Structure 1
Amino acid sequence: MTSTPPVTGRPTAAPATPARPRPRGQGWLVTLGLMAAAPALLATGLRVLQPGSERLAKLASFIPYGLVFWLPALILLALAAIRAWRRGASGRAALGALSLACAAGLAATVAWQAPAFIPDGRPATTDPVTVVSLNVAQAADPAATARALSGADVVVFAEAHRGWVDSLPERFRAEFRYLAPADGSGEEDDADTVVFSRHPIVSAEALPPSNFQQWSAVVRLPQLGPVRVVAVHPCNPYCRPGLWMQDAAQLRAWLAEHRGTMPMIVAGDFNAVDDHRTMQALYDDGFRSAADLVGAGFVRTWPANTRVPPMIGIDHVLVDDRLTASAFETFGVPGTDHLGVRAVIAGTTG
């Protein structure tokens, strides 16, 4: 009987487990998620670092638009991470980490932006005062301007040369009999700030010289008593290098020196958005935006003379801690590239 020879050699290896295929469309989800995260990350960096250079300040003007991209970035990358974890696909840990980073960016965005949409709730303890600010760009229609400002108590104009001031209708000059400076502006072609009031102006003072001459007026308001109204228009980031920060620092120092004796309202074209370092410095000093106090949200005022709606908010009304705001709105006037801002202000104990 013939026996079967033993089998020799290496044992047969078990078949390898095939790698699980990547979910269909995963590459698109990741690519689009990273593309959305890029502007959000840039905007967050600008918001945290608050650069002082003019070039980066121009980019920082659009921080809110960049921050909103955290939401689509989070949705896309989180969806990609969930699909990767369910299938055990490679890269799932990295996608999970990216999703957490996007969630953190979105949380920071909400923390930064939400207060602008939530009313402060500080109680008004006096009758209200209406303060209006408008950059007339040396060319706003005088009659339309007068109509838009009817009913205001105090009016601040920026870029208002003497010729434009003289062109205002007689009915406006009759309603707002007091102004600072007393002659309406500087030289004929100077585009300075001007304060008009229907109530007596007790005193006026020119701020230190800058690209535009700025003025302060002490107005005796029946609702509040003496109030310092500062009409501002510091230089923009397109001025010569260094002047934007220099003007802002000079204005901040002047305001700090003149605070404490009476309530203060600072209104005009600040050439800065809320996220800029120059505005954040004023908020650190205790000033509050009338728009934020009423929860007006993302207010945009420039440019206002194109088919596209205004993109950024550089016109503001700020108040110190002795004042609050109960209403805020913007309005348009033909001939200028700015929207005007109107704030209803009162005294407070909050």
Structure 2
Amino acid sequence: MLSQRRLGTATLALGLVVLTDVLRVFLPSVITIFGQAASTPAELLGAFAVGWFVLALAAPVLVARVGSATVGLAAVLVLGAARLVLTAAPGGPAQLWLASAGLLAGLVWLAATAARVAYPVPGLVLGMTASALGHALLGTYDLVWWQRWPAWVASVAVVAALLAAETAFGRAAGRAVDDRPPPNRRGWLLVGPALLLGGMVALSPAVAINAMSYWYGEAGTAAPPPFALAPLGAAVPLFLLGALTPWQPRWRALPPVLLVAGALLFGYGPPTLLTVAVLAGAAGLGGCLGLTGDGASPQPTDRSGTGPAYAAVGGMLVFAVAALVYYAAYDIGYPNQWVPAVVAALTGVVAMRATGASDGQPRADPAPELPRWRLAVLAAVVALAAAWLHGPWLVSTNRPGPPEQVRLVAYNIRMGFGLDGRFDLTALDRMVGRADVVVLSEVDRGWLLNGGHDTLGLLADRLGMPYVFAPAADPLWGDAVLSRWPVQRARTRPLPAVGAPTGAQALGVTVDLGAGVRLAVVSTHLQPPPGADPVVQARAVADFATGYADGAPLVVAGDLNTEPGDPAFTAFTDAGLVDALAAARPLPTSPADDPREQIDHVLVSPDLVAADAVAVPGTASDHLPVAVTLTLPDR
């Protein structure tokens, strides 16, 4: 029985690593491929995504009729095959359907595993920890998108290990069906909420990096912060210790309180407290899972495994609904900060109910013991090693003095996903080219919906340029400026919402070109109200930009969602700014595969001379970047 329990724990951990990899492809594929660059109604998009989780509710019936070992092995074969084929990153409809098939197979496998594993907490904790640390070591750049041989080797190794563990576990479980302990349905119910809260807040390397950056100023740091993954180095051990350490009765209310506090800070707190949200969320989430494990044995016996199978799939349905409700707010427009807090509260309630059921009653057959302190130390070491591997770089312009010209690019990167739905840093790098200053819109720094990448950090690393980031929708999504020269005086100003669902801001930075020469750059992404021009926001940006520049040469750039001659565009010219792309008009930039709209712009103060304006063709985003060479005024 000890061997069987350990095999079950190992199988669950490995399976969750592979399932999480597939989820990181499925979720952005729904948005970028099925969603067709936001042209698909949000209701239809949500129905497609949730439909796969609803379909998986039939899995427990299949498990009961066919057998959990047979269903589990078949599902692992499909899940592993989908994961390996996705490593080729085909893009387009093939990627969407492969990820969907892999997700459904993963959910069926989860139901089959729930029918055989009585105590899911150890496997869940190890799987989430391994996934988080692996993502950290990769710098949040999934192996799926690498398209190089090391990615294939690593992917084949993980899938092969899962297949071997599943085969061995199926045989062991088949020989000991009658000796199984009563299942922990509450533990299985929390698999989905735990994956949501872990990926959204508590165990996300990208969120940890972004949280660390807010310690360095109002608008984030001007370079990757030192030991940016340090919060993860503390969060993962807290998560492990909370999940694997027995809780004394007087402390059992603490994990739910910490988890809800972390979720509330994430949703409602200032960005500077994002680190606290990560740490509190990790400790609370681990503690809640630990409490749930404590309450395993007294539940009614269900030797068929149907109950825990339904609990596992139902918990994943909670994951899907909560994720879509949270992120759909940025398309439809409603408050969403409450979503992680509600999921955290429900998780705490389930954990406390499990605790109450087991007080004073020892387990009939305890879950496998894990070396919690050694695991915690190992997790901290791996996270700190990742921090060292992906630490800040020294930036040098390699230029003797102030330049006479600056090449500037403004680009809406759509969170790093091209029209084919692929997360392609190489294509983004190629589109930016040898720019000196880069203004980015729709920058994602850890949204679970987009795979949990730190898109800004990854792109900045490739370009060898420091960055400044400013949040707009929430602490993880906004605008940025990258520069080959040092930047100073980062300032950000929220813009009036004017009924638009997604938040907007204006980010000002001063580029220090040397010898006292400076260039003020303002990055923004205007969000028009439904059916109207974003003129109110344009006026706010123009006022902020001219005041921020204070007489220095000024550039205002980004996705302005307005055409030349429209009221919002005129608000900038009325403020004394000049259209830097005028000589190349018409210069459509959206959609990227058939550009018809001129909505991405560069406006400059009259003392800057613009030349060589172009919209760079390509489909690395749903917009084209605009590039222009600016000649600085005589000094």
TM-score tier, shorter chain, comes to 0.5 to 0.7
In 2, Cα distance between the equivalents of 1:133 and 1:223? 26
- SS of 2:434's equivalent in the other structure is coil
User: Residues 51-90 of structure 1: matches in 2 within 5 Å?
Assistant: none
Deviation (angstroms), 1:170: 5.7
- SS of 2:534's equivalent in the other structure is helix
Q: Which runs of 4+ in 1 moved over 6 A?
A: 186-189
Deviation (angstroms), 1:281: 2.2
In 2, Cα distance between the equivalents of 1:277 and 1:326? 25
Match of 1:344 in 2: 629
Match of 2:600 in 1: 315
Structure 2: runs of 5+ lacking an equivalent: 1-401, 419-423, 497-502
Deviations 1:59-80 (A, max 9, x none): xxxxxxxxxxxxxxxxxxxxxx
In 1, Cα distance between the equivalents of 2:516 and 2:459? 26
* 1:229 equivalent in alignment to 2:507: no
Deviation (angstroms), 1:174: 5.7
User: Residues 239-254 of structure 1: matches in 2 within 5 Å?
Assistant: 239-240=529-530, 244-254=534-544
Find the partner of 1:285 among 575, 598, 617.
Answer: 575
One-letter amino acid of the structure 1 residue matched with residue 436 of structure 2: D
RMSD of aligned alpha carbons: 2.8
Identical amino acids, percent of aligned pairs: 26
Whether contact under 8 Å (1:323, 1:347) holds in the other structure is: yes
Match of 1:122 in 2: none
Whether contact under 8 Å (2:613, 2:629) holds in the other structure is: yes
For the pair shown, which has the larger CA radius of gyration, 1 or 2?
1
One-letter amino acid of the structure 1 residue matched with residue 513 of structure 2: L
Deviations 1:85-118 (A, max 9, x none): xxxxxxxxxxxxxxxxxxxxxxxxxxxxxxxxxx
Match of 2:466 in 1: 178
Find the partner of 1:156 among 424, 439, 446.
Answer: 439
Q: Which has the higher helix share?
A: 2
Deviations 1:140-161 (A, max 9, x none): 4322111222311110110111
Match of 1:195 in 2: 481
Match of 1:263 in 2: 553
One-letter amino acid of the structure 2 residue matched with residue 134 of structure 1: Y
- SS of 1:300's equivalent in the other structure is coil
In 1, Cα distance between the equivalents of 2:544 and 2:459? 34
* 1:298 equivalent in alignment to 2:601: no
In 2, Cα distance between the equivalents of 1:247 and 1:171? 28
In 2, Cα distance between the equivalents of 1:263 and 1:247? 22
In 1, Cα distance between the equivalents of 2:604 and 2:535? 22
Match of 2:566 in 1: 276
Deviation (angstroms), 1:261: 2.9
Whether contact under 8 Å (1:192, 1:214) holds in the other structure is: no
* 1:142 equivalent in alignment to 2:425: yes
Whether contact under 8 Å (2:403, 2:513) holds in the other structure is: no
Match of 2:223 in 1: none
Match of 1:331 in 2: 616
CA shift in 2, pair 1:333/1:348, >3 Å: same
Whether contact under 8 Å (2:427, 2:620) holds in the other structure is: no
In 2, Cα distance between the equivalents of 1:247 and 1:312? 19
Q: Which has the higher strand share?
A: 1
In 1, Cα distance between the equivalents of 2:493 and 2:426? 29
Whether contact under 8 Å (2:408, 2:627) holds in the other structure is: yes
Q: How many residues align?
A: 216
- SS of 1:312's equivalent in the other structure is coil
Deviation (angstroms), 1:188: 7.3
One-letter amino acid of the structure 2 residue matched with residue 286 of structure 1: G
- SS of 1:156's equivalent in the other structure is strand
* 1:166 equivalent in alignment to 2:454: yes
Deviation (angstroms), 1:336: 1.9
In 2, Cα distance between the equivalents of 1:176 and 1:126? 18
Structure showing greater relative contact order (alpha-carbon pairs closer than 8 Å, 6 or more residues apart): 1
User: Residues 30-69 of structure 1: matches in 2 within 5 Å?
Assistant: none
Q: TM-score normalised to the size of structure 1? A: 0.55
In 1, Cα distance between the equivalents of 2:590 and 2:522? 21
CA shift in 2, pair 1:199/1:251, >3 Å: same
